[in-house]
Amino acid sequence: MGLFQILKQAFTAVPTFDDLNDEFYDSLEEALILADVGAETACDIVAQLRKRVKERFIGRMEEVKDALRDILRSKLEVGDSALTLEGKPAVVLVIGVNGVGKTTSIGKLAKQLKSQGKKVLLCAGDTFRAAAADQLEIWSQRAGVDIVRQNEGADPGAVLFDALQAAKARGTDVVLCDTAGRLHNKQNLMNELAKLRKIIDRECPDSSCETLLVLDATTGQNGLIQARTFKETAGLTGIILTKLDGTAKGGIVIAIAQELGVPVKFVGVGEGIDDLKPFDPAEFVQGMV
Ligand code: GDP
């Protein structure tokens, strides 16, 4: 059972405000933990709700729900959830370990930006696996955007340099750059990203650069451990949370925002090219309780 159903059930058990008791608060906390929100955050949410109900003289269940939605939203709003795209070309580096849905997300994002009238170029920066560039090329065709790639084993910095030159020459609005998914080692990752950033700063000094980490929602709290390493190393500006359709535990969105302090910017809700949604905290909590 997912976060939404669990929360709704916790409320169904308490039909009127007079029934609001410790048992309700306990079951709410349990529900949040079950939905992957994380123990500490769940405890804090319930404590805030208790306090609000008391301090604001809340006396109706609808008001309790509103207060909870408000608290959940504030937990999700840890930064701008919109993508920053400034300069020409704006640059988006996409990082994450293999298998999380990085290539798919780049393809989906390319299609989305293109449908907004932007000229998009993909950069095949994962040169460790030949298959990575091949797969990205398939997505570039699906999205109908250009791609710059080199041979397996090429220097990712050189591929990015080429892509930025091509982007400038072609009047591209956004360069979406894939990066190697096997850089588990912190030092490698840090060196690699620092190198790429240096090239972006030098070639496109007026461009914004987003660094988006792709995370698989189905890995739950384990995914967060992985994310912490990336956060420390990569200077993340946002998260793409994939496979939200594959888990009933939507609470992981709150855990990510809280534990990383980085906004979720997009969620993946399927394998198709249109299955990437911009993440809107207000809309997300609306249907929750
Ligand atoms: P990469 O190794 O990180 O580049 O991962 P891929 O983009 O190749 O994706 C790995 C698998 O996850 C593929 O089978 C994708 O179809 C699947 N996938 C990616 N995003 C989503 C999503 O939002 N929902 C679902 N259900 N599957 C996804």
Condensed to tens digits (0 to 9), the pLDDT of residues 44-60 reads 999 999 999 989 888 88
pLDDT at 4: 65
Determine if ligand 1 sits within 6 Å of the CB of residue 235. no
Q: Model confidence over 154-204: pLDDT tens digits?
A: 999 999 999 999 999 999 999 999 998 876 677 788 888 899 999 999 999
CATH number where 238 lies = 3.40.50.300
Would you list the DSSP string of 199-244? Answer: HHHHH-TT--EEEEEEEEGGGHHHHHHHHHHHHHHH---EEEEE-G
The predicted pLDDT at position 246 comes to 82
**What token pair was written down for 66?**
């509103």
Question: Is residue 17 domain-shared with residue 109, that is, in the same domain?
Answer: no
Query: What range does the domain containing 64 cover?
Result: 3-76
User: What's the rounded Cα separation, in Å, for the pair 238 and 76?
Assistant: 12
Which carries the bigger pLDDT value, residue 41 or residue 220? 41
What's the pLDDT score for residue 179?
Answer: 94
Per-residue model confidence as pLDDT tens digits over 64-118: 989 999 999 999 999 988 999 999 999 999 999 889 999 999 999 999 999 999 9
So what's the pLDDT on residue 231?
A: 85
Q: What is the pLDDT of residue 263?
A: 93
Q: Which amino acid is at 85?
A: L
Least confident piece of the model among 163-167, 204-208, 221-225: 221-225
- Same structural domain for residues 140 and 234? yes
Both 36 and 127 in one domain: the answer is no
Residue 195 belongs to a domain: yes
- Which atom of ligand 1 lies closest to the CA of 99? 2
Q: 101: Cβ below 6 Å to ligand 1?
A: yes
First to last CA, the chain: 14
State whether 133 and 15 are in the same domain.
no
3 state DSSP class of 191: helix
Ligand 1 center from residue 98 Cα (angstroms): 10
Domain boundary among 14, 46, 76: 76
How much of the chain, in percent, has pLDDT values that exceed 70?
96
The torsion angle over the Cα atoms of residues 92, 104, 263 and 225, rounded to 10 degrees, is -110
Q: What is the CATH number of the domain that holds 18?
A: 1.20.120.140
Rg (Cα) of the chain, in Å, rounded?
21
For the whole model, what pTM was predicted?
0.91
Query: What's the total number of domains in the chain?
Result: 2
The response to whether residue 242 sits with its C-beta less than 6 Å from ligand 1 reads yes
Does the Cβ of 133 fall within 6 Å of ligand 1?
Answer: no
- Does position 1 have pLDDT exceeding 60, yes or no? no
pLDDT at 107: 98
In 10 A of CB 178, how many CB atoms?
A: 28
Q: Which of 98, 100, 104 for mutating ligand 1's site (highest number of atoms within 8 Å of CB)?
A: 104
- For the CA of 106, the closest atom of ligand 1 is 7
| Residues 132, 40 within the same domain | no
Residue found under tokens 């591929």: 159
Q: What is the pLDDT of residues 70-81, one digit of tens each?
A: 999 999 999 988
Query: Which candidate, 171, 56, 186, 42, places its Cα nearest to that of 118?
Result: 171
- The reported pLDDT for the residue numbered 62 is 86
Please check the confidence at residue 205 and state whether its pLDDT lies above 90: yes
Report the pLDDT averaged over residues 32-49: 92
CA distances from 50 to 25, 28, 44, 71, 145 (A): 8, 11, 10, 11, 51
Residue 247 scores a pLDDT above 90: no
User: How high is the pLDDT of residue 117?
Assistant: 98
User: Is the Cβ atom of 271 under 6 angstroms away from ligand 1?
Assistant: yes
**272 falls within a domain:** yes
